[in-house]
Amino acid sequence: MAHNRKGIVLGTIALVGLIVCLVAFKASRSPAPTRAESSDTQALAVSEVKTPALPVAAPARDNFTQPTPSLEAAKTLLAATPTTPRTPQQLVAEILEITSTDGPITAEKAEKFKHNLEELVKQGAASVPAIRELLEKKIEYNFADASGGEQMGYASLRASLIDALKQIGGPEAQEAMVQVLQTSALPSELLEIAKNLDQEAPGLYRDQVLNAARESLAIAATNLSANIELGPAFRILQNYGDANTIADAAKSDPANFNNAINLANMPEGQGLAALVQMAENSSSGSGQTIATEMIAQMAGQNSKAIDALMQMVQNNQISNGTWEKLAPILGGDQYQIADSPAQSPTDPNVSQTSGFTIINTATTSDQINQRIALIDKFLGTVPSDSAAAASLRNQRNILTQKLGK
């Protein structure tokens, strides 16, 4: 009996030990509750109230792998990233590449061309050496000859570069334009530069401008076969010539200027006598010059004006400098007050200048031949080796070229 009780006790002890081992094993497999959880458990046990669980805090940003941007997002990012500005040399090289490419000028090419020009102007004086270098190479592309050329905004490559210099301004740009004056013989280009320089620094470069115009005319006189429009060179001599020019008279002697032009435009030559008196007796040199020019203007339609001008030639009243201004007038140029009715500003035979308008009236074959005959009259009265004869011959060549077009 005692033996049986001892067995029961031992079995009970063994069973309790087994249960304790199982509990300890399970406890080791479960994480120990945190201090906060223990506290929460105790609180719940006391109040027996359930409260909402607080949101779990987000892990730190560094624990996330950054997402890879999409291709479109990458393109947008690259487009927004500022690029290093191109140098003037690079811009000029691209301009030359665009203009020299064969084929039509597309909208994309024109837009890139304009953008590069704008960048050159924005970079200011730093762009002048690159522009000057290209101008010195005398490379030219006429956009009017290319399909789509009207999109470029300029008639030619050189015209665009000269305009860029004008927009840049300053001593460096002026020096570059003077360099073009000394190397170019194209009258239209010389006239544009003359206007730019006179606007930037009035009167400062007058001698260089006049020398360039005279050299251009001298070159044309030795190469009569060249199809070059010489009118702009004569226009330079008229507007920037010796002190007594039409432009000067318009600014410094407006009373005589307006009076002379109004007299020349009176019907049936009614103002001729007053102009002759003005040319002989005017107290100012500009008054004499403008009166003589207006007599020459009337000579195209009035035989008495021809006789009056011829008499002045025989009396040696017309200087060589004045002949440079008279030649294009005898060739068809006519002056009107700027606010008087004129042809459309887009007309190639019209030139608008401060204070007056110049209209060339020799447009038909009959009108051109009439002007050639008028010039021949005076060529027979001046010394053949004089500057007067050279001016008249050059103007005659211009008219002859017009007949051939």
Q: What confidence tier does 338 reach under pLDDT thresholds 50, 70, 90?
A: low
pLDDT of residue 53: 44
Number of domain units in the chain: 1
Structure token pair of residue 5:
């009780």
Mean pLDDT of the chain: 76
Q: pLDDT tens digit string along 288-326?
A: 888 899 999 999 989 999 999 999 999 888 887 788 888
* 25 found inside a domain: no
- pLDDT over 60 at 370, yes or no: yes
Strongest mean pLDDT among 29-38, 55-64, 191-200, 283-292: 191-200
| pLDDT tens figures, 356-367 | 788 888 889 999
Asked whether residue 257 is assigned to any structural domain, the reply reads: yes
- Whether residue 242 has pLDDT greater than 70: no
List, in sequence order, every residue forming a beta bridge with 351; answer none if it has no partner: 358
Q: Percent of the chain having pLDDT more than 90? A: 31
Mean pLDDT across the stretch 142-153? 87
pLDDT digits (tens, 9 = 90+) for 378-400: 998 888 888 788 888 888 888 88
The reply to whether 122 falls in a domain is: no
pLDDT > 70: percent of the chain: 68
Q: Quick one: tokens of 100? A: 């020299």
CB 191 within 8 A of CB 353: no
222-231, long-range: CB < 8 A, 24+ apart: 224/397, 227/401, 227/404, 228/186, 228/187, 228/401, 229/187, 229/188, 229/398, 229/401, 230/187, 230/394, 230/395, 230/397, 230/398, 231/187, 231/328, 231/360, 231/398
The predicted structure's pLDDT at residue 283: 62
- Answer yes or no: is 256 within a domain: yes
CA 352, CA 335: separation in Å to the nearest integer? 10
Domain contains 354:
yes
For 85-109, write each residue's pLDDT tens digit.
889 999 999 999 988 878 888 999 9
Residue 327 located in a structural domain: yes
Query: What mean pLDDT do residues 17-21 have?
Result: 56
In a domain, 88, yes or no: no
SS3 of 20-76: HHHHHHHHHHCCCCCHHHHHHHHHHHHHCCCCCCCCCCCCCHHHCCCCCCCHHHHHH
Mean pLDDT for 345-362 is 61
Reported pTM: 0.50
Q: Which residues contact 109 (CB under 8 A, 6 or more apart)?
A: 98, 101
Local structure of residue 142 (DSSP, 8 states): B
pLDDT of 158 over the 60 cut:
yes
Tell me if 109 is assigned to some domain: no
Range of the domain at 270: 242-405
Q: Where are the strands (E) in 139-191, listed by range?
A: none
Q: At what angle do helices 170-183 and 187-200 cross, to 10 degrees?
A: 150
What per-residue confidence (pLDDT) applies to 306? 95
pLDDT for 246: 59
> Is residue 330 scored above 60 in pLDDT?
yes
pLDDT at 46: 37
Average pLDDT of 74-89?
62
Confidence of residue 136 (pLDDT cuts 50, 70, 90): very high
